[in-house]
């Protein structure tokens, strides 16, 4: 099927003349006539009766024109809508991120993004599971740690250290460790994905393995932070999740020369020839915002 043939036929029928239709379409008169003739041969019917003075639609031509003109109008409307989408960010943007990034980073970013691009509706999906962006129809993901999606475009936005922290009340009661080995005498709040046997801490030159007792163990990172805030012990948490509490003094970073593992954070999105403006706008804005956040 050649849509150009249909487009020319519809315009000729509307104009009532090959000459007028060709002029409107910006093509030679001979091309317009050839397109309609090719359409008639393909369909095996006569659509237009041609005389030296005027054109007239046949009965089959009238029926075909009615359906074809409606279909062509819908196609042109769809193209216009797609063209508009390519010019300005709009529509639904689906973003996924780890649960622990929700309140600490992404909420501030989404608020700023919505103010700048009110025509974009945002659906946030916070989950600890791996999300297949293409299969699940998600536009952008914020991911921490090693990437495994070779088919995705990735933009690095920061590096997060896992740092030991505790509340002022706990440190006042139990004292402040001066070396990682001192942690063996403290209540350590263990986040199970890091392991339940020990913490690996490094100062860049030396690495120390600290054996831990199973005193308080949880698999939810925000609950682990809440335990630390309540004075229950020392936690090893990513810097981004407790930056506001450290800034306000509600949590204190101990052993400042030491850290646990380091996570690299990326924005990732499916590789496409044409990236939707809503995705491009979000990635650009999020990259700048998250980089500033992690540089603080």
Q: Domain of 75: which CATH number?
A: 1.10.10.10
**250 & 129 share domain:** yes
Tally Cβ neighbours within 10 Å of residue 271. 13
Token pair for 191 = 């986040």
pLDDT above 90 for 161: no
How many residues does this entry show for the chain? 296
The tally of domains found in the chain comes to 2
Q: What is the pLDDT of residues 34-83, one digit of tens each?
A: 988 998 898 898 988 877 677 888 888 889 888 888 887 787 777 766 66
CATH number at residue 148: 3.40.190.290
Q: Counting Cβ atoms within 10 Å, is residue 165 exposed (0-12), middle (13-18) or buried (19+)?
A: buried
Q: Domain boundary at 58, 87, 116, which?
A: 87
Helix (H/G/I), strand (E/B), else coil: 15: helix
pLDDT band at 194 (very low <50, low <70, confident <90, very high): confident
Domain span at residue 139 reads 89-296
Instruction: Verify that 268 and 154 share a domain, yes or no.
Output: yes
Give the mean pLDDT of the chain.
85
Last residue of one domain, picked from the residues 87, 117, 137: 87
pTM assigned to the model: 0.61
Verify that 49 and 82 share a domain, yes or no.
yes
Tell me which of 43, 63, 87 is where a domain ends.
Answer: 87
């Amino acid at each position: 099927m050649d849509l150009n043939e249909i487009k020319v036929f519809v315009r000729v029928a509307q104009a009532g003349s090959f000459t007028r239709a060709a002029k409107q379409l910006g093509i030679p008169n001979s091309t317009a006539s050839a397109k309609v003739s090719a359409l008639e041969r393909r369909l095996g019917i006569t659509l237009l009766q041609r005389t030296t003075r005027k054109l007239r639609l046949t009965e089959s031509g009238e029926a075909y024109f009615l359906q074809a003109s409606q279909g062509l109008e819908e196609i042109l409307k769809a193209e216009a809508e797609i063209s508009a989408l390519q010019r300005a960010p709009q529509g639904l943007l689906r973003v996924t991120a780890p649960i622990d990034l929700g309140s600490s980073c992404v909420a501030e970013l989404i608020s700023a993004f919505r103010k700048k691009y009110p025509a974009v509706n945002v659906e946030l999906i916070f989950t600890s599971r791996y999300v297949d962006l293409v299969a699940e129809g998600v536009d952008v993901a914020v991911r921490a740690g090693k990437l495994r999606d070779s088919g995705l475009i990735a933009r690095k936005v920061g590096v997060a250290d896992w740092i030991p922290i505790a509340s002022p009340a706990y440190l006042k009661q139990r004292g402040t460790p001066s070396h990682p080995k001192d942690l063996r005498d403290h209540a350590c709040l263990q986040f199970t994905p890091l392991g339940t046997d020990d913490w690996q801490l490094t100062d860049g030159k030396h690495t120390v393995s600290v054996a831990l007792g199973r005193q308080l163990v949880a698999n939810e990172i925000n609950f682990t932070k809440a335990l630390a805030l309540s004075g229950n012990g020392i936690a090893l948490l990513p810097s981004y999740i407790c930056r506001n509490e450290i800034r306000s003094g509600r949590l204190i970073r101990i052993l400042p020369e030491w850290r646990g593992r380091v996570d690299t954070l990326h924005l990732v999105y499916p590789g496409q020839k044409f990236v939707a403006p809503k995705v491009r706008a979000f990635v650009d804005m999020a990259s700048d915002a998250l980089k500033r956040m992690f540089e603080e």
